[in-house]
Amino acid sequence: MKNLLAAVATVAVIASAFPAFATDIIVVAHGQANDPFWSVVKNGVEKAAKDTGVNVEFRSPETFDMVQMGQMIDAAVNQEPAGLVVSIPDADALGPAIKRAVAAGIPVISMNSGSDVAHELGALLHVGQSEFDAGKAAGKKLAEMGGKKGICVNQEVGNVSLDLRCQGFTEGFGNPVTVIPTQNDPAEVESKVRAALESDTDVDTVLGLSASLVGEPAVKAAQAIGRENVMIASFDLSSGFLQDVADGKAAFAIDQQQFLQGYLPVSFLALNAQYGLIPGGDVASGPNLVTKDTAAKVIDLSAQGIR
C-alpha cells in the first residue's frame, strides 16, 4: 500500500508541473455503459487527463462484446496514439489486437483485468488486482466468519476475470460453492438469489461480483425472505452496498480502487510521452476489504464516483 501511495504522490507532483500539451491517449475498456463500476474508472481517466493536460478518449462496447472490443483496439491503433490503455477480460479474443498495438510501437498499459497475461501480450505494466487471489481472500474471510455453503453470483458470464473471482472464492472458502449465472440486471439477480436461498436453506454465504448489480439486490433478496443470517459480501463498492455493510446487513465489500485503475495508466502514459518515464513494475490497486468499521468513511466518496 505504501508503494501505491508513493506512486500516486509521484504522479501528482510531476503532473502539477506539466504544461498543457496535446497527446492522444486512448482507453478501451470492456465495461458496459450501464455499469456504475466503470463510471468510476472513467472518472479516474478524466481526472488524469485534466491533471496532466493530455487529450484522452474513453471507449467501450455497449454490451460485453469481445469482437467489438477487439475492433475498437484496432481502430485505436490506426489512430497512432501516444499510448493505449486496455482491460483484458479475454486474452484469447483480445490478444491479437493488443499485440498489433505493441508491434506498431504504441506503449500499452493494461488495467482492471488481465494481470496474468498482460506482460506476455506486450503490455508495459498492469494496474489492478489479482482476481483469483482477491476471490480467495474473500472466501477465507467468509469461512472464518462461519460460512459453510455458498453461491457466487456472476453477472457477466464470459468475463474470464469474473470466473477467476469465483474460482478463487471456491478455493479460499473450502466448502461447497455453486456459481449462479445471471444477466447484467439487478432485478434478475434479486430473483435468482432469492430462488437459490429458498430452494436450499443450507446456503449461508453469498459472494457478488458487483456491488450495485449483485450485492445490493442480494441483500434485498435475503431480507425479503427473512434470511438475515446469510452472509453477503461483494466485489467493488456502491454507496448502497456500503450502507448495507455499515448497517450490518452485509459482511464486507472488496475494494479494488477502480478510480486508480483509470487514473494511473493515463498518468503513467503521459509521463512516458513527456519524459520517457514509466514505472518498473505492476501496481496493485487492491484488494482491500471494507468492513462495518470502515464502510461509513467511504460512502460519500462512493456517491461522488471516486470509491
| Dihedral over Cα of 100, 102, 108, 109: its sign | positive
pLDDT at 5 over 70: no
Backbone torsions φ then ψ of 106, nearest 5 degrees? -90, 125
- Reported for 242-246, long-range contacts at CB under 8 A and 24+ positions apart, including other chains, are 242/211, 242/290, 242/295, 242/296, 242/298, 242/299, 242/302, 243/295, 243/299, 244/215, 244/216, 244/219, 245/290, 245/291, 245/292, 245/295, 246/292, 246/295, 246/296, 246/299
Element containing residue 192 per DSSP (H, E): helix 186-199
277 pLDDT band (50/70/90 cuts)?
very high
Could you tell me which of 128, 146, 134, 84 has the C-alpha nearest to residue 273?
84
pLDDT at 304 over 90: no
The four Cα atoms 285, 286, 290, 294 give a dihedral, to 10 degrees, of -40
pTM: 0.77
Could you tell me which of 281, 273, 286, 293 has the C-alpha nearest to residue 14?
273
What is the layout of strands, in order, in the sheet containing 177-181?
177-181, 150-154, 205-208, 231-235, 252-255, 288-290
Cα 79 from Cα 280, distance rounded (Å): 27
Cα 295 from Cα 289, distance rounded (Å): 10
Cα 19 from Cα 267, distance rounded (Å): 14
DSSP of 44-80, one letter per residue?
Answer: HHHHHHHHHT-EEEEE--SSS-HHHHHHHHHHHHHT-
In this predicted structure, what is the pLDDT of residue 33? 59
pLDDT at 10 over 60: no
| Model confidence pLDDT, tens digit, residues 85-105 | 999 999 999 999 999 999 999
Domains in the chain, start-ordered, CATH in brackets?
A: 2-128+257-286 (3.40.50.2300), 131-255 (3.40.50.2300)
Mean pLDDT of 137-144: 97
| Model confidence pLDDT, tens digit, residues 198-215 | 999 999 999 999 999 999
23 pLDDT band (50/70/90 cuts)?
low
Cα 299 from Cα 304, distance rounded (Å): 9
